[in-house]
Structure 1
Amino acid sequence: MTTAKAAVLSGTDAAFEFADIEVRDIRADEILVKITATGLCHTDLSVQHGHIPSPFPIVLGHEGAGVVEQVGSAVTEFAVGDKVAASFDSCGHCANCDEGKNAYCLNFWPYNFGGARPDGSTALADTEGNDLHSNFFGQSSFATYAVISPRNAVKVPEDVPLELTGPLGCGIQTGAGTVLNSLGVRAGESIVVAGTGAVGLSAIMAAKAAGATTIVAVDVLEERLQFAAKLGATHTVNGKADDVADQIKAATGGLGAKYAVDTTAVPAVIENLVAGTQFGATIAAIGVTKPGATIPLGLFSGAGKSLVGAIEGDAVPQTFIPRLLDLYRAGQFPFDQLITTYPFSEMDTAIKATQTGEAVKAVLVW
């Protein structure tokens, strides 16, 4: 048993409360990681506000990074002292996992959102021994220690700061992977990205790295649009304008973009993307929707366009995160410019900064 400090969420719309907790002994197929830093993701906040169902009380956090402190007897891939980043979990044995489609694991929901191990046990408890829901995305890394499956852990090179690597496990991986993997954007092609938070800006950087020659950023915050231009957007469009679709088409020579990525999950924004893309275009929707959000079927029926829901950028973390780090080292994926660090004790400040747009990607550091 290991004692830890954690940010515990007791219910929908409750505040995160710091508490001492107990981390139960790891099993043969698990590793114990001392967490250095954890990215704050909109998915965590979506659980907090009830947009994603969850059992309570629970320890969230799913962009953790740290150092391996204990290794289960059946684990051969990791050793004590390894620096690791944690990503989403998967079962490793379903039909999709067997095909290398870990992001579409047929058991994705229980492994990542079930609040427990697959057998229903929890890795965490309060100081009185009562169960705390755990294993959020296979990690629950809003804590000083996390029990992690080797399937969702990735070794981090010694020369990369740990506080940078956590967000690669979800948000940044999702944005970049949607462009590079899900859509397969190639050199010379065009793409429009709606929403220039961490996910959208990662998509823009990935599009530039892929050689896309027309990259249109859409947002309602001018300072974010300026940042998007700095990171690779060739054109920017203010989403408050009345002619968003027309501006997208103008930027792409009148045809419309070949690809689109929506990170907002706002129906009106998606409608603008559909209108601003060319015949045969593919639109990837990767934002977390609010209950009841809908778009008209007529946008796609007979329009020759495809709407896809990309999960985690179709990534296999053990191969894709090193790929992103290689691009980073080569100066082609400067994701470090997105990150602002906060002490874990200032979690509320980090949340407010994320919600107001002051911080693109907040990372909480112990």
Structure 2
Amino acid sequence: MQIQAAVISEQGHDFEWQTVELAEPSMGEVRVRIVATGVCHTDAVARDLGLAPFPIVLGHEGAGVVEALGDGVNGLEVGDHVVLSFAHCGGCGHCLTGHPTVCDAFNELNFGGAMDDGSHRLARGDEALATFFGQSSFATHAVVSARNVVLADPEVNLALLGPLGCGIQTGAGTVLNRLKPEFGSSLVVYGCGAVGLSAIMAARIVGCRQIIAVDVHDNRLELALELGATHAINGQQEDTVERVREITGSGSQFAVETTGVPMVVRQSLQALCPLGVSAIVGVTPEVTLDVHHDLMAEGKSMIGVIEGDSVPRVFIPQLIAYFKEGRFPFDRLVRFYAPEQIHQAFEDSKKGTTVKPVIQIGQ
């Protein structure tokens, strides 16, 4: 069938909405009519740095309505509201033990540009178009593996839910699934974008006593305080490490580092108390550490976390339930854009004027 999709023809080029051909779903696949798709920093990195082959249709925080089922699909029906998350094989040891975020085939399936069997579902004339994260949801429709598909509560506005598939589950999951801070503990979040603010809301859910937000934008710090942070630090105006120690007494027990800025990564370690843990979730370049002073001497740990170590089919419905209860108000991060405003959405995300842009594609 013919659909509209935002195609990027070459690395660094702009999005162009074009008519492309979408194949029918194969065995184990689903066709979804996309209602809305979140804009994530990973899309910008893929556009500018070439994480995946070109030409490509990006978009990996899609939400929509099931339109068609391939053979062998169980548990889904036409008309279901769904969130699309990352691709994983479902059969390796990590997938089978509840850690699909480190699937043996994660990079191939999410950044390789093709489906499980190596074929393509998108084409522009005779030219195959690469798929991103197994979905390519900057489009009116997407064909995805049923493993990527998460049933969503039909009572909740479907247009809001796409960002749960990546950015929001990354922040919340890092706290709830991986760090698992104890009630009354201390946690610092470095960077108050969608991932960081989601971590703050999750820390509030588990009852952290001190939830410290660090950013360089006062408006984001104000929002962090409204969403559950107990303290805010402007990293350009204060000594972050000193302030964290003042607030906590001896340093924080936990940290979530979302910025990917090497200096901030070191701060997240230096501001930990002995035996503290810093989770690195941002795309981070080379960082120089004094291993003795920054880590080993006080028994600290630095861990990497992908997609919040989540099992999306379990975790995303939990987040939606918290949202319905008023305990996880992620809707406050979202601003909607029309498809023709996709360039503006990416620019606003880069500038920080919008925390989580969402492209509303359908109804």
- What TM-score do you get using the length of structure 1 for normalisation? 0.96
Q: SS in structure 2 opposite 1:49? A: helix
4+ residue segments displaced more than 3 Å: none
Q: Which residue of 2 aligns with 1:118?
A: 116
Residues 1-366 of structure 1 correspond to what in structure 2 (within 5 A)?
2-50=1-49, 53-126=51-124, 128-134=125-131, 136-252=132-248, 254-290=249-285, 293-298=286-291, 299-366=294-361
Measured after TM superposition, the shift of residue 12 of structure 1 is 2.0
What's the offset of the Cα at 1:297? 4.5
Distance 2:23 2:127 in 1: 11
- Deviation for aligned residue 1:99: 0.7
- Alpha-carbon separation, structure 2, partners of 1:87 and 1:186: 28
CA–CA separation in structure 2 for the residues paired with 1:166 and 1:118: 22
Alignment partners' CA distance in 2, 1:152 and 1:221: 35
1:62–1:139 CA contact under 8 A, matched in 2: yes
| Cα drift, residue 242 of structure 1 | 5.0
Unaligned runs of 5+ in 1: none
CA distance in 1 between counterparts of 2:96 and 2:314 reads: 15
Contact 1:90 1:107 in 2 (8 A): yes
Amino acid across the alignment from 1:129: D
| 3-state SS, counterpart of residue 226 of structure 2 | helix
Q: CA deviation at 1:119?
A: 2.5
Question: Aligned letter for 1:55?
Answer: P
CA contact (8 A) 2:262 2:284 kept: no
Provide Cα deviations, 1:295-320, integer angstroms capped at 9, x if missing partner: 31422233311111001101000010
Supply the distance in 1 between the matched residues of 2:358 and 2:287 (Cα, whole angstroms).
32
Report SS of the residue matched to 1:331: coil
Q: Deviations over 1:38-65 (max 9, x none)?
A: 0000000011110x62110001100000
Give the C-alpha shift of residue 24 in structure 1. 1.0
CA distance in 2, matches of 1:347, 1:242: 35
Percent identity over the alignment is: 46
**AA in 2 matched with 1:335:** F
Tell me the alpha carbon deviations over residues 219-271 of structure 1, each in whole angstroms, 9 at most, x when there is no partner.
0001110110000110011111352101011111x211000000001010111
1:18-37 C-alpha deviation (Å, 9 max, x unpaired): 11100012102100001010
Counterpart residue identity of residue 356, structure 1 = K
Residues paired across the two proteins, number: 359
What is the CA–CA distance in structure 1 between the aligned matches of 2:151 and 2:328, rounded to whole Å? 19
The superposition leaves residues 187-235 of structure 1 with CA deviations (integer Å, 9 ceiling, x where unpaired) of: 1010000000000000000000110010000000011101100001100
Q: CA RMSD of the aligned region, Å?
A: 1.1
Aligned partners of 2:251 and 2:296: how far apart in 1? 18
